[in-house]
Amino acid sequence: MNSVKKGHLMELPNRVLIGHDIIGEFGSFLNDLGVDKPVLFVSGKNVQNVVKSSITESLEISQLKSDWKIIDNATTSITDEVSELCKSNNYGIIVGIGGGKSVDVAKLSSYQAKIPFVSFPTSASHDGIASPFASLKGSDRPYSFVASPPLGIFADIKIISQAPDRLLSSGCGDLIAKITAVKDWELARDNSGERFGNYAASLSYMSSRILFDESLNFTTNKNDSVRNIVEALISTGVAAGIAGSSRPCSGSEHLISHALDIISPNNGLHGEKCGISSIAMSKLHGLDWQEIRDALQRVNCPTNIHDLGISDDEMIEAINLAPTIRPDRYTILNTTDLDRDNIHKLLSDTNCI
């Protein structure tokens, strides 16, 4: 879809609607985006049970028809199936409604089928809400695929607030990881001559700083806190769109998370692993790792790998493996000669083990 030969293309959402209990406005939201053909929703069964009646009523008012594709996992085979479904039907848009799996499948399917995509998150567990990248299982690439950025983002804070608290904490872990991601990008600029986008980096870094706000309180003011986190996650996705790559959002901490997906699969959420890894990587960068650890603890995000069922040896192996996940991605791990003993000390010194 990208025919640009020089420079880089910035692809950003056309319309973003955030509010409390706004699900009844979804049909008019699609109308405002110019949608006048049937809509395909991609979601899990539980999400469908919660929202389908409200969405169907809203679409009927807006004179829009819809179908639903229920998925259990985000895999390349399911994405191929959904994209073929899009190609063989006259859908005007595909809507990923749910958590990361549904949004990522809809995102990559829309890219393959060449139809627009709307992101409708029901949790705030990671920054994929707005980014033009998708993570899938079932391939030989344990990192993100280039995909479609959302044409629109629809975020109902009431729905997102009702998601399990652990998902929100995971989103906070993914947010704080932007601090080390940006530092890694700066390092690549200085040491390998990689193109660096100052604005995209600043936007991503600024978004992560919301977690250091002492007023962020999920217990007494959850709706406002959830809205702040959702807006920050959207901003980091926009930063990736501006940069034309995942660089402002993904650095050494994400490589470690991807390595853990291989070494210790099904243990810990993506944002949780990124958050813990950012503590250790921030120490390597000479940053205030204790400040990062304290911020994660305030939002109930794990700061020790044992809380995720990951062993010391698995984490050490993941840090060793991380630089090979994406050899083209220069990070702090390329500048530091870490043997097993040094990695163990790093993790012990930062209380990650």
**For residue range 83-122, what is the model confidence (pLDDT) as tens digits?**
999 988 989 999 999 988 999 999 999 999 999 999 999 9
Q: Are 120 and 82 in contact (CB under 8 A)?
A: no
Architecture of the CATH domain 166-349: Up-down Bundle (1.20)
| Closest to 292 (Cα-Cα) out of 284, 282, 302, 300 | 282
Reported as a single tens digit per residue, the pLDDT across 210-255 is 988 866 767 677 888 899 999 999 999 999 999 989 999 999 999 9
For residue 139, the model assigns a pLDDT of: 60
Give me the count of residues in the chain: 353
Contact 68, 47 (CB under 8 A): no
CATH 3.90.226.10 fits 15-163, yes or no: no
- Give the model's pLDDT for residue 145: 81
Write 214-218 long-range contacts (CB < 8 A, 24+).
214/298, 216/298, 216/299, 218/165, 218/168, 218/299, 218/300
Whole-angstrom Cα distance, residue 239 to residue 110?
Answer: 21
Average pLDDT over residues 310-316: 98
Q: For the chain, what percentages of helix, strand and coil (3-state, to nearest 5) are there?
A: 55, 10, 35
In the chain, what are the domain boundaries?
Answer: 15-163, 166-349
Task: Judge if 15-163 and 166-349 fold alike in CATH terms.
Answer: no
Q: How far apart are CA 176 and CA 164, in angstroms?
A: 20
